[in-house]
Amino acid sequence: WFSRREHILVYPVGLAGTIIYVYISLKAHLPGEAIVNFFYSVMSIYGWYLWSRRNQQQELVVHITRSDRTMWHYQLLFFAGCYLLLLLSLTFLHRFFNESIPWADSLASATAFTGMWLMTRKKVESWYWWIATNIASVPLYFVKGYVFTSVYYLILLLMAFWGLRTWQKKAIAQSVARP
């Protein structure tokens, strides 16, 4: 809700939630999701810093924008690198977390890493990655028996579609206002 509205409170509120989900993910034998939530915690601090930066005229420095072709390539490379690294790591860790689902956990985690990285930069495309994350997370947590968390990700999925629409409109308005 805060991110859709481009409100700085997205980061302190998100930081509290990510700390809770590190614990829940470890308990559910989803080490990739635990890593993601730890990454969220770090990126929340970074995003909080970026979103609050101002220039000498006290104007915000980071604005909602769309990714150019080069940035899309970086996103795909970042995602692929995260997915492969997580898949290898989680496949290795599968012997310690035998109830884990390495490929699904890696998919949900890699899309989330990419979405969070882009969210800190206020890129419209971050919402596509959040949509993918939520689509992957709903069945992942449901299969593990975490129905409440599965429903939570379903709600986040709906909010991600809403956020995408809002940020698309803001990007258009800001591109007209800023030549």
Domain spans, the chain:
10-54+76-177
Helices 31-52, 69-93: inter-axial angle, 10-degree rounding: 150
pLDDT digits (tens, 9 = 90+) for 125-148: 999 999 999 999 999 989 988 899
Rg (CA), the chain: 17
Residue holding tokens 């803001």?
Answer: 170
C-alpha–C-alpha distance, residues 159 and 175, integer Å: 24
Residue 130 vs residues 24, 125, 155: alpha-carbon distances, Å: 20, 9, 12
Note the pLDDT tens digit of each residue in 39-55. 888 888 888 888 777 77
Q: What one-letter code names the amino acid at 151? A: V
pTM exceeds 0.85? no
In this predicted model, which residue has the larger pLDDT, 171 or 7? 171
